[in-house]
Structure formats: C-alpha cells, structure tokens
Amino acid sequence: MLTHQPERLADFYKKVFEMKELYRTKNGSVHLSDGEVNLAILNASEPKEPGHRPGLYHFGFHVEDAEVVSRRIQEIYPEGAPKARPKGTSYAETRGMDPDGNLFDISTWGWGEKPLPKERGGPAE
C-alpha cells in the first residue's frame, strides 16, 4: 500500500495486528509480516509509478480474538474503531480503518477458503 507516512502506518499494523517488521528500504518503505501475510507499506513520496494515488480499497485479517484487536485499535486510533458489517455479511464481522483511511475487515471465522472449525459451525470431522 502507498502512503505519505510509512512509519506511522507501519506502527499501527505492528501494534494492532502484532505484525513483525521484516525490513526497511532506503526511501523509508516498511515491510511487515504476520507469518502468513506480507504487507509492503511503500513511501508514496518516491513512487515507482508517478501518478499512482496512495491507498487501496480494503483487505482483511483473520484473527483469533476480535475483541482484543478492537481494543488495540481503540487505544491507538479510536477514529478507526471497527464497526459491525451489515447483517448477513458472510466474510467478516467488523470493518475498521487505519490512520490513512484504508479499510480492513476483521473476521474470526475466515473467508471461506478453508472449512470452519467445528466449534465455529464447520463440518464435523
């Protein structure tokens, strides 16, 4: 994702989703990972493709405890506190926002790529 404040955005994702910093580039871009997903927070002050605007539409995190994540967001960036998705939404319970205005879904049940565990309504083994 492109941003004019890579340090601020990287700090948000490290604190809220416990992502680990993999490395930084000379121009200030920060690369993070949670062990499964890598997130490149690119410095928009030096774009590789001039004219490309900062941001993206949305993405999602599959988390163990949505309440813990929600509390972290409330502490770090209250304006981005997760809000419930419309009733019947199958892919996420809530949607939050980072300090740059990027939207992210938060789900404890996942997005249907893998069967849900039995305790979350998945098939019996």
Q: What's the pLDDT tens digit per position in 55-107?
A: 776 788 889 999 999 999 999 999 999 999 887 776 788 999 999 888 898 98
Sign (positive or negative) of CA dihedral 55, 58, 64, 68:
positive
Q: Which amino acid is at 26?
A: K
- Tokens 């979350």 correspond to 120
Domains in the chain with CATH codes: 2-44+58-116 (3.10.180.10)
User: Angle at the Cα of 84 (from 6 to 81), degrees rounded to 5?
Assistant: 35
Position 9 scores a pLDDT of 95
Q: Which amino acid is at 87?
A: K
64 touches 18 (CB < 8 A): no
